[in-house]
């Protein structure tokens, strides 16, 4: 038997985190067993299904690296659904019932109901074990709004049967759908696939994850500048455990390791901070050139941009953060800052800021272009260490030095700034600060 799984998103909205995680697990299970992974667009909600949503879902899955072996649109299979509906009615396993419309009072409509044998249904869930339902409470449930308009449960069963899906891997919110679908399978004489119901992804407060907890669509994370490798690594560990302490997996490594017996039964908690940390780890793996290219990072000076990539890797957790730093706290690398006298002297004790800056500037002849931050620190720090606690300590010297160079309250340390700006440009900026202090 060739294993075949499917993800069946409805193109009525953007690709959600939960759907992406389910798609990943479907893909991993199929590929681990040398099988096939299919995508079925369940687009029969004519009012809400939109082509742009379908395009975004497919683009999101492709971004994650989940290449499909087959693509099917449910709306293109309506004639097949109708064929089998008619067959069930002819065989007496379903019947057409004329009933009052629930949406239009007084209007009579024809619907199709399955004759329910009212028995217990048991299936083995590959995550949760044996599950039994008493289906008698379901009655003769509706499987189509009309003979040419099947409902979800019927269309899903027919499509899974025709696509030869062997394993249905989906969220635990679908467990209650399973007995209806099994009854439809039995009426059609369709084989029963294996079922695996995954734990839901929950917000930190253990409620259903929603927009109030932050971004929930894959498109949002793509635009923020997350790496697909990092996103796959993070969501692959949500609700699955490899049985060891390892936390870093590439997609290929997941394929090799993934089995359903590692899926946990309890809900997985979404943790944005953890995702950011994982993303930063993957960003740091990139070469400096790949970091710039994949991050879409540009700057006025290409040479200096390459010099500050280590700073971006150290500080940024997404590529958006890295891009924002170019125009924010690291903008000083590309243009001289505008200084605020109050901030320049914020750590002044006894009116000595100008004295400290001048004495530091007097040491600049000992600096030369190409020195590392550590080498520059070895030249300048001894003076800062001589500043007494009564005079404000080393901070009284290093703060105005850093601010004179950057014009920012948050920036790299002054030695790193000088190593990138160069001693010449740095000296000009310090002199500018001294001129401001002189009034």
CB-based contacts of 186: which residues, under 8 Å, 6+ apart?
Answer: none
Phi then psi for residue 170, to 5 deg, are -155, 175
Q: Are residues 357 and 400 located together in one domain of the fold?
A: yes
Is 318 part of a structural domain of the chain? yes
Q: Are residues 350 and 426 located together in one domain of the fold?
A: yes
Supply angle C-alpha 236, 238, 244, rounded to 5.
75
Is 276 part of a structural domain of the chain? no
Q: Which of 333, 368, 390 corresponds to the end of one domain?
A: 333
Q: Is the dihedral of CA 320, 321, 326, 327 positive or negative?
A: positive
Angle between helices 394-406 and 373-386 (to 10 degrees): 140
Q: Are residues 310 and 387 located together in one domain of the fold?
A: no
CA 259/CA 33 separation, integer angstroms: 9
Is 322 part of a structural domain of the chain? yes
Is 391 part of a structural domain of the chain? yes
pLDDT along the chain (439 residues), means of 10: 95 93 98 98 87 96 98 95 97 92 80 95 96 95 92 96 98 95 98 96 84 76 96 97 93 97 92 96 98 96 95 96 95 94 90 94 92 96 92 93 95 95 95 92
Q: Are residues 357 and 422 located together in one domain of the fold?
A: yes
Q: Are residues 350 and 403 located together in one domain of the fold?
A: yes
CA 377/CA 419 separation, integer angstroms: 10
pLDDT of residue 360: 96
Q: Are residues 432 and 354 located together in one domain of the fold?
A: yes
Q: Are residues 430 and 379 located together in one domain of the fold?
A: yes
Q: Are residues 402 and 361 located together in one domain of the fold?
A: yes
pLDDT of residue 215: 61
pLDDT of residue 101: 77
Is 55 part of a structural domain of the chain? no
Q: Are 423 and 398 in contact, with CB atoms under 8 Å apart?
A: no
Phi then psi for residue 49, to 5 deg, are -75, 130
CA 273/CA 348 separation, integer angstroms: 37
pTM of the complete model: 0.91
CA 37/CA 49 separation, integer angstroms: 23
Is 301 part of a structural domain of the chain? yes
- Token pair belonging to 152: 């979800």
When divided into structural domains, the chain yields a total of 2
CB-based contacts of 16: which residues, under 8 Å, 6+ apart?
Answer: 216, 217, 218
Q: Are residues 364 and 431 located together in one domain of the fold?
A: yes
pLDDT of residue 208: 81
Q: Are residues 364 and 306 located together in one domain of the fold?
A: no
pLDDT of residue 357: 96
Is 328 part of a structural domain of the chain? yes
pLDDT of residue 214: 61
pLDDT of residue 120: 96
Closest CA to 31 of 234, 169, 238: 169
Q: Are residues 352 and 432 located together in one domain of the fold?
A: yes
Is 389 part of a structural domain of the chain? yes
CA 318/CA 281 separation, integer angstroms: 10
Q: Are 266 and 233 in contact, with CB atoms under 8 Å apart?
A: no
Task: Find the domain containing 399 and state its range.
Answer: 341-438
Q: Which of 265, 299, 333 corresponds to the end of one domain?
A: 333
Q: Which of 271, 305, 333 corresponds to the end of one domain?
A: 333
Q: Say whether 91 sits in a helix, a strand or coil.
A: coil
CATH for 368: 1.10.10.350
Residue with tokens 């002819």: 90
């Amino acid at each position: 038997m060739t294993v075949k799984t499917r993800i069946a998103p409805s193109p009525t909205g953007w690709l959600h985190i939960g759907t992406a995680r389910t798609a990943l697990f479907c893909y991993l299970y199929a590929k681990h067993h040398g099988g096939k992974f299919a995508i079925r667009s369940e687009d029969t909600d004519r009012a809400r299904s939109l082509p742009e949503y379908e395009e975004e879902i497919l683009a999101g899955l492709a971004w994650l690296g989940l290449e499909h072996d087959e693509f099917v649109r449910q709306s293109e299979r309506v004639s097949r659904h109708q064929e089998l509906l008619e067959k069930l009615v002819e065989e007496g396993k379903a019947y057409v019932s004329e009933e009052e419309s629930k949406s239009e009072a007084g209007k009579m409509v024809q619907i199709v109901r399955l004759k329910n044998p009212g028995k217990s249904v048991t299936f083995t869930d590959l995550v949760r074990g044996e599950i039994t339902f008493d289906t008698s409470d379901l009655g003769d449930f509706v499987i189509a709004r009309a003979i040419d308009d099947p409902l979800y449960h019927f269309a899903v069963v027919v499509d899974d049967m025709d696509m030869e899906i062997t394993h249905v891997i989906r969220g635990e919110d679908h467990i209650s759908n399973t007995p209806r679908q099994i009854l439809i399978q039995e009426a059609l004489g369709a084989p029963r696939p294996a079922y695996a119901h995954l734990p839901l992804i929950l917000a930190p407060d253990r409620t259903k994850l929603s927009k109030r907890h932050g971004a929930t669509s894959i498109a949002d994370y793509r635009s923020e500048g997350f790496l697909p490798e990092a996103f796959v690594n993070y969501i692959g560990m949500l609700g699955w455990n490899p049985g060891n302490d390892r936390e870093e997996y590439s997609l290929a490594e997941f394929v090799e390791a993934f089995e359903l017996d590692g899926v946990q039964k309890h809900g997985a908690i979404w943790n944005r901070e953890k995702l950011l940390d994982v993303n930063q780890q993957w960003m740091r793996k990139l070469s400096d050139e790949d970091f710039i290219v994949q991050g879409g990072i540009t700057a006025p000076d290409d040479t200096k941009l390459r010099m500050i990539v280590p700073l971006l890797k150290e500080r940024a957790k997404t590529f958006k953060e890295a891009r924002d730093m170019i125009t924010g706290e690291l903008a000083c690398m590309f243009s001289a800052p505008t200084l605020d006298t109050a901030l320049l002297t914020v750590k002044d004790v006894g009116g000595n800021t100008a004295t400290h800056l001048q004495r530091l500037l007097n040491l600049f002849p000992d600096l030369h272009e190409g020195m590392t931050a550590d080498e520059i620190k070895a030249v300048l720090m001894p003076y800062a260490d001589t500043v007494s606690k009564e005079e404000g300590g080393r901070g009284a010297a290093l703060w105005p030095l850093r601010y004179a160079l950057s014009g920012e309250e948050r920036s790299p340390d002054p030695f790193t700034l000088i190593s990138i700006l160069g001693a010449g440009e740095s000296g000009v900026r310090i002199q500018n600060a001294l001129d401001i202090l002189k009034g």
